[in-house]
Amino acid sequence: MPRSARQHLTKALHLLDRGDAEGGETLLRDTVASAAGEADSVTTVVALCCLGELLVEQGRREEAVGTLRSCLAVPVPEDVAEVCAVERATAQQLLAHIT
């Protein structure tokens, strides 16, 4: 049975916590693709924010800018907007810092 987007995200965060940036990045990208297919805007926002932050930490500014802008562009239903507020604020702060 294929993993859900949230399962991909959980696994990606575990890999990043263990210092596996490459594996974490791959799974974050998989998470974004899976979440889009599942129409899961919350997981998409969280994954894009985490990926953008990772890219900033790695000095990959150009990729980070595009990723963080994508995070902010994800349409989020009103009933879950509060759930994404921290990630959206983080994305805005990171963009302000690198642009």
User: At residue 1, does pLDDT exceed 60?
Assistant: no
Q: What is the mean pLDDT of residues 18-31?
A: 97
Residue-range definition of the domain harbouring residue 37: 5-98
Classify the C-alpha dihedral 2-49-39-63 as positive or negative.
negative
* Residue 46 and residue 9 in contact, taking contact as beta carbons nearer than 8 Å: yes
pLDDT for 98: 96
Q: What is the pLDDT of residues 26-40, one digit of tens each?
A: 999 999 999 988 999
pLDDT number for residue 11: 96
Task: Please state the rounded mean pLDDT for residues 50-71.
Answer: 97
Report percent pLDDT > 90 for the chain: 93
Q: Residue 6: what pLDDT? A: 93
pTM of the model: 0.94
Per-residue pLDDT of 72-95, as tens digits, reads 999 999 999 999 999 999 999 999
Using an 8 Å Cβ cutoff, are 91 and 72 in contact? yes
Neighbours of 38 (CB within 10 A): 13
Please give the pLDDT value at position 2: 66
Please state the domain count of the chain.
1
The CATH code of the domain that includes 48 is 1.25.40
